[in-house]
Amino acid sequence: MKFNDQVRFVRQNMKKNKTRLFMTVLATAMGCAFLIVLASVGFGLQKSIVDKVVGDRLVTAIDVYGIASEDGVDRQIDEKGIAYLRSVDRVKAVTYRNNVRQTIRSTVDGAAVMPGKVINVDFEAETAAGFGLSAGRLPQADDEVVIGYYSRIPAEGFKPGDEPPSAGEWLGKTMSMEASQFETDGTERKKSFSVKIVGIAAKPSREWQIDNSVYIGNAAMGNIESFTGTQWGEQRIAPDKENPEGYEPPGLQDPRQYSEIQVIADGARHVKAIAEQIREQGYFVHSVADELDQINLVFLIMKIGLVFVGTIAVLIASIGIYNTMTMAVTERAQDIGIMKAIGAHPSAIRRIFLLESALIGLLGAIIGTAVAYVVSMAVNAGLPLIIEGFMDEKVPQDFRFSFIPGYLAALSSLISLAVALLSGSRPARRATRIDVLRALRRDL
Amino acid sequence: MIEMIQVSHRFVIGKKGRERVVPVLHDIDLHVEKGEIVAIVGRSGSGKSTLLNLMSGYIHPTSGTIRVAGQAVTGLSEGDWADFRLAHLGFMFQSFQLIPSMTAFENAELPLVLKGIDVAERKKRVMALLHQVGVAEYAGHYPGELSGGQQQRVSVARALMLNPPIVLADEPTGSLDSDNERQLLALIRELNRELGITFVLITHDEQVAATAHRTIALKDGYLLNAPRKGEAHSYEIQ
């Protein structure tokens, strides 16, 4: 018997009692929707909390804050430290972010740019680490730079909630950066450097974060340092009456110290081993993967529990499917008997009834999944308003109470389908055992 | 075509612990030749329907051997019996046994559906047979909209749909008026003559029995006679 004919039989059978079919599908859909919505709370909370923990950071990144030394004084990482970190097995890149230690005045097309940080990064390492760009590319030439997503904010600022002008329009433009240095006699020297904007950094994940930095490579940093004659372009403070000693920043020959160092592993599963190895060498490290492991474990247990509770709802719905299929077999006993009498194979009869219960499960799963998505969206939209309205508490930005990943919908549909097949299996088996003679005598 | 050797059958009736064994057939030896029309006659309770049910595989003999179309069928599983029926047997019933929710076309088509024949081929074969048995114009009607004679013709079309070499008919004229009975018997003779189909008819109607080449009489589960093809009818129902 062909599959198409089995489907035709099932459709004919289903049309016979539409109300009963509707109620059974409804019960299955409710069970499936309940399962998805319940589990989606676990997924939603996990996503919100993990997103908060991870923030903009990579899960493959290990933050290195400093190194313990033998004299008991903790130090920042120097070039030797950077070289060591790069030599560790499975390390893909070591990045750092060193601020230029003076306010650089920049202009684009003659207009002043709102002053922000100028940050020296190693673009070669950033390429390997995956520097987040919203437009353009990473610099390849010495005079190329990346600017922050909000670099075009007007000098007068902008209202909270308003979207500032897109920095993307500055792609390809030349930016003039003016550095200054004070001589020992207090006179100020200035020098302008022209750089080309080739990339726009990714939009910060938090609404309150304003990135209007300029990211420059080592060559551009070298140009500024050659002019200032100091590390990281730091300005000298000339001695005066109030400060007779003045301040002489570290020179270019002095040992360098690097900031915001991140070791990027070549896979999330290597993060732990690398962190351990570096830690043993006295480095102070922190990896988000450490926290994520524990958080994910807690949420995994929670999600399993929620799916289990939700599955009970589907199992309750299965009673309806069992009842419907039993009734269907009883009502069609004579038809089944006739089919058997003329040569229907028991397996063909079993398949027809299993197909019918599978179809009920599938319909329930499809409707239930659609309902679950609607409920999930409603919860995410409505619950923060309710909490704010009645409890006077503000829900964090981007917090999601419910999140339905594709595989949760697929898993729930699979559970509904499996439960439907399970509840239909006994009635289907019963259908194959119908006694032909009793059926022909209409004795059933 | 059909061979029964020392076939006995008994039913066990009554509740568990208080069962009673009721013997129905005793040591039946029976041979039906290819192309024969055989009528099995006997009073009610003589065991003739049981005999047909054994040939159909609806029940299994307590002892003895049955061969149908050259194949030993005693001991076949339910699934094997289903395949065997579809391949070798056609069935006609007293109360037609059409599925009420299916049209005449769909009822007649059923064996082809079970066999997995393509839709186009099915349509061609069903319409040809419905035409042959004279109910093509009622193809879209449900059994409840047809007369007894028309329903039995649909049932004949269904029985012949897969060109079975054997048709087993249990009181095929039992629910028909004399006109329809005459027409059906004529159709059976025609099919036997032209297609060489072997018919085994269960009946207590002498007119039906007279259609047969051979009549086998049963009494209280015993075979009274089983004359071969060409021999004269020699039975008497007491």
Q: Output the six-digit token pair for A383.
A: 């619950």
Question: H helices of A130-270, where?
Answer: 218-228
For residues B207 and B211, give the distance between their C-alpha atoms in angstroms, rounded to a whole number: 7
| Contact (CB, 8 A) for A197 and A173 | yes
The Cα A403–Cα B231 span in angstroms is 85
Q: What angle do CA A423, A429, A431 make, to 5 degrees?
A: 110
CA atoms of A85 and A200, how far apart (whole Å): 28
Count of pairs with CB atoms under 8 A, one residue in A, one in B: 62
Nearest to A364 by CA among A408, A328, A416, A412: A416
Q: Which residues of A touch B113 (CB under 8 A)?
A: 1-2, 5
Rounded (10°) CA dihedral A197, A199, A203, A209? -40
Asked whether A274 and A86 are in contact (CB, 8 A), the reply is no
Q: Where are the alpha helices (DSSP H) in A236-345?
A: 271-280, 288-331, 333-342
Return the SS3 of A295: helix
CA atoms of A140 and A61, how far apart (whole Å): 24
**Helix or strand run (H / E) with residue A170:** none
- Is residue A96 within 8 A of residue A261, CB to CB? The reply is yes
Residue A155's pLDDT is 67
Distance from C-alpha of A326 to C-alpha of B166, rounded to nearest angstrom: 36
Instruction: Report the C-alpha gap between A292 and A61 in whole angstroms.
Output: 12
User: What distance in Å separates the CA atoms of residue B9 and residue A437, rounded to the nearest whole number?
Assistant: 16
The answer to whether the CB atoms of B110 and A12 lie below 8 A apart is: no
3-class DSSP state of B33: coil
Contact (CB<8Å) B113/A5: yes
Residues of A in contact with B159 (CB under 8 A): 342
Q: Let me know: does A86 contact A292? Beta carbons within 8 Å.
A: no
Distance from CA of A14 to the nearest CA of B (A): 12
Taking a C-beta distance cutoff of 8 angstroms, is the pair B39, B201 a contact? yes
Strand arrangement, sheet containing A61-67: A91-95, A261-265, A61-67, A283-287
Question: Chain B residues with CB inside 8 Å of A339's CB?
Answer: 99, 110, 114
**What is the pLDDT tens value at each position of chain A, 444 positions in all?**
888 888 888 888 888 888 888 988 998 899 899 889 988 988 888 888 777 766 555 678 888 988 887 776 667 888 888 999 999 998 989 999 999 999 998 888 888 888 889 999 998 888 888 788 888 898 988 889 999 988 888 766 667 667 777 788 888 999 999 999 998 888 899 999 999 999 999 887 666 778 889 999 999 999 999 999 999 999 988 888 888 888 888 888 888 888 889 998 887 778 888 988 998 988 988 887 777 777 888 888 888 888 888 888 888 888 888 888 888 888 888 889 999 998 999 999 999 999 999 999 999 999 999 999 999 999 888 888 888 888 777 777 677 888 898 988 998 899 889 988 998 899 999 999 888 888 887 654
Query: Which residue out of A9, A15, A342, A352 would a mutagenesis test of the B interface target, given it has the greatest number of B Cβ atoms within 10 Å?
Result: A342
The answer for B 155-194 residues in CB contact with A (under 8 A) is: 158-159
Convert A210-225 to b/e letters by CB count within 10 Å (16 or more is b): bbbbbbbbeebbebbb
Cβ separation of A343 and B58 shorter than 8 Å? no
Mean pLDDT of B156-164: 90
Whole-angstrom distance, CA of residue A416 vs CA of residue B149: 48
Per DSSP, chain A holds a count of helices (H) and strands (E) of 11, 13
Of A344, A437, A440, the CB nearest to B114: A344
Positive/negative CA dihedral, A97, A98, A102, A104: negative
| Domain formed by B33-60+77-225, architecture | 3-Layer(aba) Sandwich (3.40)
Quick check: B92 contacting A, CB < 8 Å? no
Residue of B nearest to A352 (CA): B114
How confident is the model at residue B236, as a pLDDT?
A: 43
CB contact under 8 A, A341 and B113: no
Reported as type and span, the H/E element at residue A9 is: helix A3-16
> What gap in Å lies between CA A357 and CA A14, rounded to an integer?
10
Cα separation, B103 vs B144, in Å, equals 9
Work out the minimum CA distance from A8 to partner chain B, whole angstroms.
Answer: 11
Q: Within A72-217, where are the H helices? A: 79-87, 123-129
Instruction: Kindly identify which residue of chain A lies nearest to residue B78, measuring between CA atoms.
Output: A346
Mark yes or no for CB contact A341/B56 under 8 Å.
yes
Beta strands B71-72 and B89-93, pairing class: unpaired
pLDDT value of position B235: 43
Euclidean distance between CA atoms A165 and A172, whole angstroms: 16
A389 with A198: CB under 8 angstroms?
no
Residue A139 tokens read as 């610099």
HSE-CB for A344 with a 13 A CA cutoff:
26
The pLDDT assigned to B45 comes to 83
Using CA atoms, how far apart are residues A103 and A248, in angstroms rounded to an integer? Answer: 17
Closest partner CB to A347 (pick from B79, B113, B116): B79
Q: What tokens does A130 get?
A: 């995956």
Does any CB of chain B come closer than 8 Å to the CB of residue A342?
yes
Q: Percent of chain B, pLDDT > 90? A: 28
In the chain, the amino acid numbered A107 is T
Which chain A residues contact residue B99 at CB under 8 A?
335, 338-339
Contacts of A180 (CB under 8 A, 6+ apart): A102, A188, A189, A190, A191, A235
Is A170:A147 a contact under the CB 8 Å cutoff?
yes
How much is the pLDDT for A195? 92
**B97: contact with A, CB 8 A cutoff:** yes
Shortest distance, CA B79 to any CA of chain A (angstroms): 5
In eight-state DSSP terms, residue A134 is E
Query: Which residues in chain B (55-84) have CB-CB distances under 8 A to chain A?
Result: 56, 58-59, 78-79, 82-84
User: Using CB atoms, which residue from A1, A338, A347 is nearest to B99?
Assistant: A338
Torsion angle defined by CA atoms of residues A166, A169, A173 and A174, in that order, rounded to the nearest 10 degrees: -20
Task: Find chain B residues with C-beta within 8 A of A340's C-beta.
Answer: 82
Is the Cβ pair A16, B56 closer than 8 Å? no
Mean pLDDT score of chain B, rounded to an integer?
86
Q: Where are the domains of chain B?
A: 33-60+77-225
Task: Provide the 8-state DSSP code for A204.
Answer: P
Gap between the Cα atoms of A337 and A440, Å rounded = 6
3-class secondary-structure state, position A109: coil
Residue A367 C-alpha from the chain's centroid: 27
> At A220, phi and psi to the nearest 5?
-65, -35
| Helix boundaries (H) for A109-203 | 123-129
pLDDT at B238: 36
Return phi, psi of residue A412, to 5°: -65, -40
**Residues across chain A:** 444
